[in-house]
Structure 1
Amino acid sequence: MNGSTSEAATVIHMDDGKAPVAPPPAAGAAASASDATAPSSAAPAPRKAAVGGGLPFLLRSGADGFRRCLAVIDFLLRVAAFGPTLAAAISTGTSDERLSVFTQFFQFHARFDDFPAFTFFMVGNAIAAGYLVLSLPFSAVGIIRPKATGVRLFLLVCDVVMMLLLTAAGAAAAAIVYVAHWGNRRANWVPICMQFHGFCQRTSGAVVASFLAVLVFIVLILMAVCAIRRR
């Protein structure tokens, strides 16, 4: 028909049970969505182990640990120095030898108290040995309380005095031992160690032990100075 009217087409959507497919997001929207889902900051790095965690307890906590370590060494050295000083005092005090000539009624006698230098040497080493024992509790205080500067100063002064005492006693005894071994031609002093072997061996060993103790005292003094200066 010429006067036919156009009919509007009606589209009917059939629900087939499927969810409608959303259109793909635009490029800008995708970028903003990815930025939103990304973490705002990077994950925190694992915390490192504390400094010194693998070191012994004595070396931790900086200067305190250093002083505590020196205090432990100080205690051990005092125990070690006690042996040579006590041995030197006992060896000198028991140095007594008799040399029979022709008959037992005619004898030569060599004893430590015949020489004032050996008497001074024995007394000096005995005093040093007693001091080392009495100083052990003060040294232990340095281990428990590394910041106890007053105790270290007290031990430092006493160590210097003991070192000077042992040095003087050892030097005096060493002079007598030298003359006993080698004599003196100008003074017509003959060496007596050719006859009194036991006496010379004991006194010579005592002098060596005493000088070993002097070396230990020097180390103790240097360690105390380092511990006091490190604050």
Structure 2
Amino acid sequence: MGTTNETLPFFTQFIQFKAQYNDLPTFTFFVIANSIVCGYLVLSLPVSVFHIIRSTAAVNSRIVLVIFDTVMLALLTAGASAAAAIVYLAHKGNASANWFAICQQFNSFCERISASLIGSFGGVVVFMLLIMTSAVAISRR
């Protein structure tokens, strides 16, 4: 999503229409939210590996990980949901608000933002599964 842009010429090469992800604050929030979640996952990976290797490790740190995972799930869901609303408007538009569908002109831009959104909602599903398996593992001990 962070590299998504498309330029369309209009009459001449000097007048062009350009669409970038950072033109809309919602897409910027989407990119920042995904970056924060990705950074958290990189930082929490060593702790998770430690818990796998030493299964008798403290339950409190496992609970803290589940809490932070839940917070990251909420952030990821918020970013993806906000971006989904804008992607819907980009594809369908809204006649009563005079918002026109831009995906008829900016095909490549819309394909890339839609693919990013699908990947993010895939991450939401994976996070849900991670939280459920972590909670089950904690409850067994």
Normalised TM-score (structure 1): 0.59
Q: Does 1:129 align with 2:32?
A: no
Q: Does 1:162 align with 2:72?
A: yes
2:40 and 2:81 mapped to 1: Cα distance? 20
Provide the residue aligned with 1:76 in structure 2: none
- Give the drift of 1:155: 1.1
> Which letter maps to 2:53?
I
- Give the drift of 1:185: 1.2
1:183 and 1:134 mapped to 2: Cα distance? 40
Q: Secondary structure at the match of 2:18?
A: strand
Q: What 5-or-longer segments of structure 1 have no aligned partner?
A: 1-91
Provide the residue aligned with 2:47 in structure 1: 138
1:215 and 1:156 mapped to 2: Cα distance? 15
2:53 and 2:114 mapped to 1: Cα distance? 40
- Give the drift of 1:150: 2.2
Provide the residue aligned with 1:120 in structure 2: 29
Provide the residue aligned with 1:102 in structure 2: 11
Matches within 5 A, 1:39-54: none
2:38 and 2:140 mapped to 1: Cα distance? 29
Q: What 5-or-longer segments of structure 2 have no aligned partner?
A: none
Provide the residue aligned with 2:114 in structure 1: 204
Provide the residue aligned with 2:128 in structure 1: 218
Q: CA RMSD in A?
A: 0.9
- Give the drift of 1:102: 0.9
> Which letter maps to 2:89?
V
Provide the residue aligned with 1:153 in structure 2: 63
2:53 and 2:6 mapped to 1: Cα distance? 49
> Which letter maps to 1:143?
I
Q: Structure 1 stretch 142-151 or stretch 97-106: which is displaced more?
A: 142-151
Q: Secondary structure at the match of 1:195?
A: coil
- Give the drift of 1:96: 1.1
1:123 and 1:172 mapped to 2: Cα distance? 12
Q: Does 1:184 align with 2:108?
A: no
Judging by fraction of residues, say which structure has more helix: 2
> Which letter maps to 2:140?
R
Provide the residue aligned with 1:50 in structure 2: none
Matches within 5 A, 1:33-112: 92-112=1-21
Over residues 44-77 of structure 1, what are the superposed CA-to-partner deviations in whole Å (9 max), with x where a residue is unaligned?
xxxxxxxxxxxxxxxxxxxxxxxxxxxxxxxxxx
Tell me which stretches of 4 or more aligned residues in structure 1 moved more than 6 Å.
Answer: none
Whose Rg is larger?
A: 1
Matched residues, percent identical? 53
